[in-house]
Structures are given as structure tokens and as C-alpha cells.
Structure 1
């Protein structure tokens, strides 16, 4: 059963170099550990994982720019370096030196470990690196959808780009998929706000994720990382993600590599978001504090 929102969470904020307010939450006691979400989520998606770790860590849950506690409209020409400045502001505000990143958050975690000297350990869960090259047709289509502010089209294109859409969706004509997504957005707009960010809000943050993916693909850049690295994968994730982790393991020969059985790409999320954080927490606990029992 999913847990209720954590009652001990507080909502401070850090200010990034361009004055963007980066909101975050904290829970627990012990060494600080920052959890960085990927696309289509906010820090709220990590509350169960944070709860599982909170007896051993002060878990810091920032919202990346463009969503949740860190609202900022996307601007064309966005650079992933701004996201690294956001993370640096969080680290400076909290004194944290350990970070976990999921998906595009994993790309940012690796890039932060490469460029920020105060990061000691980083766990990266399936950074979306396309060893055979980015799907340029889908990237071009996504930019077209964004220019026209077509949220249903943006969502469908992003699903196809990541390879995370259920297999039957690939058999449904795109126009029908977009029509169905349009109905979902209309239904959400009429409903009372819930615990999680709306699909529309998360769709408007997707250009940040696509920019990160486009700019942080060169796997050789990560050979400069001096921090300890844990590379996490999931049994049921797309093959290109497994290939990327294998390539990263070759690039970072001292990195630990773990594959979690029976789960997929969103394993770190709450159970009511199709996650299974109980499979992720022991690996993080052992990596970030090996003296603690799993």
C-alpha cells in the first residue's frame, strides 16, 4: 500500500546562479543525500523512497526547474549547465555531497560529479544515453510540438523517444493517441488538484529534459569523474538503457554496476506511480552508507 505524504517534510529553497528559486524538501536524520528526479515527476514521486532511507539519511528532495516547487517557464536555448547550477545551489545550501539521479536526473548527477568538486558519491539510475545516436526525427518532432505548444503531441513524442511507452501504444495511430491524451488533459483540468503535479504541468517541463538529453550524450565526458559511482539498472527497461550502463561501466572501471530484478525504469518512484522503491532503497543504503545494514 502506498504511504501518505511524509508529515515531517519541510519546504526551504535555494537560489540558483540565474536567480531561479529551487525548492526542496527534507526528511530524516543522518548524512545528507539528494534525490534528483527525471521527466514527468516531481519530488513528490520520491516520498516513499525517502521514507525508506530517512532513518539513516537526511534525504533532500529538490524539484528541478520548471516543475513543482521550482516553477520557471522554459526558454529556448536552455543549457544543461543551468541545471548543474541549480544542483550546486542545493549542495551549497544543504552541505550534501552524495546524490542519486533517475533518468535525466541521472545524466545531471553524472555531469555534476564531473564538474562540481564537492560531490563524493553519485548513484545513476539509467541515464538515457543513446549509443547509436539520438532519434533525430523524434527530437525534431518534439521541438515542433513545443513550438506549437501542443501538449498532447509533446507527451506522445516523448513517450516514443524514451521507449518507455507500453508496447500496444506503438500499434495505435498517432492521431488517436493524441486525441486520447487530449481527453486526459481535459479531464485533469476539471478535477481538483491532487497530490501529484498534473500531466499538463509535467508536459511543460519536458523541454528541460529533452535539452539535458541532447546536451549530455557524449559518454567520454564522464571519464573525468573522480567521485565514487554506482550504476543502477532495471531488468525490464529498454535495451538501449542497459547498453548505456554497460558503456558507462567501461568508461568508469571503478564504478559499481547493479541490475535490479523484476522492475522497470520507474522503480524508484512511489508504488502508486508504478514504482517499487523497496527494491531500490537497499542498494542506495549500502552504497551511500555501507556501514548500515540493508
Structure 2
């Protein structure tokens, strides 16, 4: 498995497939290459793009060097972008969107962004966010996963359906990284988005609840160069077969084949 090394020495595992302009896919909280819906999407995109998938730090084939900070994840992504022969496009799913936004705001060589339902919290409840992160950090394993999913609004019937499945067990294996996503969320606000001048497509699922749709709308409204679109899908998800042509059309508007 190829790796890149982040400035703090953390080794980040990744894979590369396809041909064309580079595109990096960024996973959501609790997800990594062996436990992700992005594999199916990647397969559909490799005819048009050189697709990079990687394990965010602390997950799968990547290392983890404490203490965590969102900037460390931006540095991880910068190392991968350098490996991908920038400029590159980024696709983020859920909390992966927040990392993509930080990367663009930090001035990394990103030419386009696509974000599926970024969990942007602009209610200003910093104390509540700190309490949530602190409590999450005290939990381990399945308790941490259950608490996190419940608090972010995953329907109870979906949580029940996940338990004792390979997907659930994989999330439990990286439960300590859920607090990382909480810290990333706390660090993402209007000031970050105002620095993102990259052309961005913000997507939401027609099957999602109003809070997720509203966060997508808020994100698009705060970005200087964004458009928004709804797609058919389930709660907090859109089928890969529906996503792939939308991503391809948006990302190829100004792309030149490498």
C-alpha cells in the first residue's frame, strides 16, 4: 500500500486508480477505505479521473500522532495533493466536507470542490460543542459510536440496523477518531468559508431531514463561489450511480486531461 508522510511524521495510506485529472475522495466520520460508500463511487469515476482514496489519520492503514488538531489533517491532505500532482479536485462526504473546506481555505492547490451534506453548525453554541467533544472523548468503542450517531441525529432505526454488522464493528474500531471530527466541526465556521474562493458544488439528498438540507443551503450561501443542487437519495446519502455523473459534469467544466 502506498503512503505519504505528513509533516508531523504520520504515515497516510492511500490508493490511486483511473486516468485523467486528479480527484481526492474524503470520507465521513467513522469511515475509512475498508468501511466506506466511496469505493463504489470511485469505481464509477475512474474512467474520467485519477481517483485517490485515503484513510484519514487514526483509521485503517494510516497512522495517528497525538495531539489531534484540524491543521494536522489539512497537512495530511496537502501531502496527498502533492503526491497527486496538483491542482486537484476534492469530493467530501459529511464531515469530510469540512476537511475539504479547510484545505481550500488554507490555500492548498484545489481547483474544484464537491460537498455532499456538510454538517456545518453555525448556532454559536461553542460551550455545547466543547461539552459534546469532551464527553465523546471519555467514551470508548460501541458507547462512543452510539453516543455520536444519536447526537448527530441518525434515526434510531438506522442505528439499530447497524449494530452487530461489519460496518458497525469497523466504526467501533476507529471510535477514538469521532472526537477528531467533533473538533473539526468546532473549527469550521463562516470565517473559514469566506476564505474559500474555489468553485464549489454543494449537494443534498431529497431523502434527508430538514436540518441537513438547511446546513447544505447555509454552506452554499456562505461560500463566495458556490452552487447548490438536490439529488434523489436516502437519509444523508445519495446512490453512487446518481452522484457520479453529477460530479463528472461539474469537475470537467474546466479540467484538462493530465
TM-score class, shorter-chain normalisation, is: 0.7 to 0.9
1:92 offset after TM fit, Å?
0.7
* Matching residue of 1:231: 202
Name the CA distance, whole Å, in 2 between partners of 1:157 and 1:196. Answer: 13
Q: 1:139 to 1:279 in 2, by over 3 A?
A: farther
Instruction: Indicate whether 1:119 and 2:91 are aligned.
Output: no
Secondary structure at the aligned position of 1:231 is classed as strand
* Matching residue of 1:256: 227
* Matching residue of 2:171: 199
Q: 1:252 to 1:199 in 2, by over 3 A?
A: closer
Structure 2 stretches lacking a partner, 5+ long: none
Q: 1:151 to 1:167 in 2, by over 3 A?
A: same
Instruction: Indicate whether 1:29 and 2:19 are aligned.
Output: yes
* Matching residue of 1:64: 56
Name the CA distance, whole Å, in 1 between partners of 2:153 and 2:9. Answer: 35
* Matching residue of 2:212: 241
- What TM-score does the superposition give when structure 1 sets the normalisation length? 0.77
Q: 1:19 to 1:264 in 2, by over 3 A?
A: same
Structure 1 stretches lacking a partner, 5+ long: 1-10, 170-176, 189-193, 268-275
* Matching residue of 2:153: 163
Q: 1:235 to 1:27 in 2, by over 3 A?
A: same
Bigger Rg, which one = 1
How big is the alpha-carbon RMSD for the aligned residues of Structure 1 and Structure 2? 2.8
Q: 1:282 to 1:135 in 2, by over 3 A?
A: farther
Task: Tell me whether 130-139 or 35-44 shows the greater mean CA deviation.
Answer: 130-139
What does 1:278-293 correspond to in 2, within 5 Å?
A: 278-290=241-253
* Matching residue of 2:185: 213
Q: 1:26 to 1:108 in 2, by over 3 A?
A: same
Name the CA distance, whole Å, in 2 between partners of 1:242 and 1:134. Answer: 20
- Give the length in aligned residue pairs: 252
Name the CA distance, whole Å, in 2 between partners of 1:133 and 1:249. Answer: 18
Name the CA distance, whole Å, in 1 between partners of 2:193 and 2:43. Answer: 31
Match of 2:142 among 152, 173, 180: 152
Is the contact between residue 164 and residue 238 of structure 1 (CA under 8 Å) also seen in structure 2? no
Match of 2:123 among 102, 120, 132: 132
1:125 offset after TM fit, Å?
1.3
